[in-house]
C-alpha cells in the first residue's frame, strides 16, 4: 500500500519520533511557538559548594509561564554521611506535589540519584515551584542537589 493511499484513508500522517531532524528544516522556516513544548530542569544546590554541609532550606526554582506538567523530581547527596536523615520535597505554591518526601540517609549511597513520585503533576501559569530540604541529621553529609523536570506548552 502506498503512503499516499494510507494518508487518504486515515487523514493523518505520523512520521514518528526522530523522523524529521534539524537538517530537514530550512533555516528560514518559521515554526509557530504554539507547536513547541519546552522542557526545563530547574535545580538547586541550596547555595552550597559540593563539599558543603546540608542545612534546612527551601528555594524557589521556577515560575510557570504557561500550563505544563511536572515530569520528574530527583535529588542526591555528593556524600551521604555517617548519620544522615534528610527529606527533599517538591512544592507548587507551597504545597507538596510528591506522594511522600524523598528521604536520603547514610545508607543511600554517595552521589546516588533518588527519585520522587509525583502525585500532582499539572501546573498553571504563575505557579511557583520550590524545592525544600529538611535536615534532621547531616553528620558528614555533603553536597545536596535537587532538580525537577517540567514541560511547558508554548503559548
**141 within domain boundaries:** yes
* Total number of domains in the chain: 1
User: Phi and psi at residue 30, in whole multiples of 5°?
Assistant: -100, 125
Strands (E), 64-127: 68-92, 95-96, 102-105, 114-115, 122-123
Helix, strand, coil percent content, the chain, rounded in steps of 5: 10, 50, 40
Indicate which CATH number applies to the domain containing 120.
Answer: 2.60.120.340
**112 within domain boundaries:** yes
Over the stretch 27-75, which tens digit does the pLDDT of each residue have?
A: 777 777 666 778 899 999 999 999 999 999 999 999 999 999 999 999 9
3-state per-residue secondary structure call for 62-76: EECCCCEEEEEEEEE
Over the stretch 79-127, which tens digit does the pLDDT of each residue have?
A: 999 999 999 999 999 999 999 999 999 999 999 999 999 999 999 999 9
Q: Which residue has the cell 526545563?
A: 40
Q: What is the DSSP letter of 98?
A: B
**17 within domain boundaries:** no
User: Phi and psi at residue 151, in whole multiples of 5°?
Assistant: -105, 125
**15 within domain boundaries:** no
pTM of the model: 0.79
**59 within domain boundaries:** yes
Identify the helix (H) or strand (E) that includes residue 97: none
**19 within domain boundaries:** no
Spatial separation of the C-alpha atoms in residues 33 and 99, rounded to whole Å = 33
Amino acid at each position: 500500500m502506498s503512503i499516499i493511499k494510507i494518508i487518504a484513508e486515515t487523514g493523518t500522517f505520523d512520521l514518528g519520533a526522530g523522523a524529521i531532524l534539524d537538517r530537514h528544516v530550512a533555516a528560514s522556516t518559521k515554526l509557530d511557538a504554539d507547536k513547541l513544548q519546552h522542557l526545563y530542569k530547574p535545580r538547586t544546590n541550596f547555595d552550597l559548594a559540593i563539599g558543603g554541609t546540608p542545612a534546612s532550606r527551601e528555594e524557589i526554582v521556577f515560575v510557570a509561564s504557561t500550563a505544563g506538567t511536572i515530569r520528574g523530581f530527583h535529588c542526591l547527596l555528593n556524600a551521604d554521611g555517617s548519620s544522615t536523615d534528610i527529606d527533599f520535597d517538591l512544592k507548587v505554591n507551597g504545597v507538596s506535589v510528591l506522594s511522600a518526601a524523598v528521604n536520603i540517609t547514610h545508607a543511600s549511597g554517595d552521589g546516588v540519584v533518588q527519585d520522587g513520585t509525583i502525585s500532582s503533576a499539572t501546573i498553571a501559569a504563575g505557579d511557583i515551584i520550590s524545592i525544600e530540604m529538611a535536615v534532621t541529621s547531616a553528620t558528614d553529609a555533603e553536597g545536596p542537589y535537587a532538580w525537577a523536570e517540567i514541560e511547558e506548552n508554548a503559548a
